[in-house]
Amino acid sequence: MADCELCGVARPTLCPVKVKDSSVIAAYPGGTWKGISEECLNRCHEANIERVPIKAKKCDLCGTRNVPLFQVKIQIPIFQEPYQRDANRALCESCFDACEDTIKRREAEKQESPHH
């Protein structure tokens, strides 16, 4: 089980997104892998189309500061009625691009796999 980087939900499998994390760029110049649930990945795709600016200090995935950030509305599960709450996360353009790459890769894998 692993936790989603955006909503914190534990899932047995997450979608791997390769982002340029500024805090470890010297050690990993190619980027680092972050795990995102499929629901959050779909919401990132929707937010990438809408591109609503948000005032935040840093990107919630890669930690980059002083770049334009955009709002991603996610739902965080809770153990009370209504069982989920809405929250906003801030993502930069490079993380949106990484999410789009992951979506394309997943669709290609689904088409190649005879089981799906």
Q: Convert the pLDDT of each residue in 21-70 to its tens digit.
A: 888 888 888 899 999 999 999 999 999 999 999 999 999 999 999 999 99
Residues 56, 34 contacting (CB under 8 angstroms): no
- Tell me how far the alpha carbon of residue 69 is from its chain's centroid: 13
Single-letter residue type at 22? S
- pLDDT tens digit sequence for 74-100: 999 888 888 899 999 999 999 999 999
Domain ranges of the chain: 2-103
